[in-house]
Amino acid sequence: MNRIVVITGASAGIGASIARELGRRGDWLVLAARTTAALERLASDIPSPSHVVTADVTRRADVERIRDEALRLFGHVDVWINNAGRGVLRSVLDLTDEDVDEMIAVNVKSALYGMQAIAPHFMQRGHGHIINISSFLGRVPVASPRSAYSAAKAALNSLTANLRMDLQRTHPGVHVSTVMPGLVSTDFAQHARGSTGPMPPGAVGSPMKPQSPEDVAVIVADLIDHPEPELYTNPASRMLAARYFEDVSQFESDTGSRR
């Protein structure tokens, strides 16, 4: 049976790659982002039915409209992927109010709106899957130029875990997953607030090698088939996180010496 999957931030990067991978697997898609033309180009490349919704996910009403469009067209939703996000390249002491406000709006509130919009539908059906695309930096904040982005993703990790624990007790058929990519070869950093161009590969201060968005998409697609609470897309990330929490001081000292 074809799954109905909603993807926010679907116009480029990881979101677009997830859409192509799920479309290749036969899932029916609702693709949401602010850029209509990019969404329509993406939808034209996907072999399965794909519906475009132009929306700004920092607005609750827009997120609810995405849900309503999906239900109107397909009758139900099986998977909701909160993928929209934006970075910032400014150290803590240089952050402005606007920097922090946008990081919270795009990386936290948009996902919160998505969870609140779709969870009642999943609870009513008794099953469904919410997937929040976070970041390794939300678990291990070792890239100081991405300070507010890391903080926002840490907040998203916490909200996701709290919702998962709540639903496990009352609706065990509803899965809630956190996906934490590390370095991914997209133009994400280039479009970050305060960016002057692509971020160099070693900017996070770790030996982690970049993944392609297509590799991340395959991992997310497999997660839908085999739900897990949390998932690092790069095997090196779990090892680095373990080292970080084992001795934060030593890890930060080692990381700083490589910059």
Domain positions in the chain are 4-258
Average pLDDT over residues 101-120: 98
Judge whether residue 208 has pLDDT over 50.
yes
Say what the pLDDT of residue 191 is: 46
Pairing type for strands 28-33 and 4-8 reads: parallel
Residue 132 reports pLDDT greater than 90: yes
Q: Is 72 exposed, middle or buried (0-12, 13-18, 19+ CB in 10 A)?
A: exposed
Among residues 113, 149, 232, 244, which one is catalytic? Answer: 149
Per the annotation, the verdict on 232 as an active-site residue is: no
Q: Which residue in 45, 62, 59, 44 sits closest to 6, CA to CA? A: 62
pLDDT of residue 258: 52
Average pLDDT of the chain to the nearest whole number: 90
Confidence of residue 61 (pLDDT cuts 50, 70, 90): very high
The answer to whether 164 and 112 are in contact (CB under 8 A) is no
Q: Kindly report the three-state secondary structure assignment for every residue of 169-237.
A: HHCCCEEEEEEECCCECCCCHHHCECCCCCCCCCCCCCCCCCECHHHHHHHHHHHHHCCCCEEECCHHH
Residues near 252 by Cβ (< 8 Å), separated by ≥ 6?
142
Average pLDDT over residues 172-198: 73
* The predicted structure's pLDDT at residue 186: 56
What's the pLDDT score for residue 2? 86
CATH 3.40.50.1370 fits 4-258, yes or no: no
DSSP string over 48-102: S-EEEEE--TTSHHHHHHHHHHHHHHHS--SEEEE-----B-B-GGG--HHHHHH
- The string of pLDDT tens digits covering residues 217-230 is 999 999 999 999 99
Which residue reads 């497999």 in tokens?
A: 222
Pairing of strands 50-54, 28-33: parallel
Instruction: Kindly indicate the confidence band of residue 207, based on its pLDDT and cuts at 50, 70 and 90.
Output: low
Residue 206 has pLDDT above 90, yes or no: no
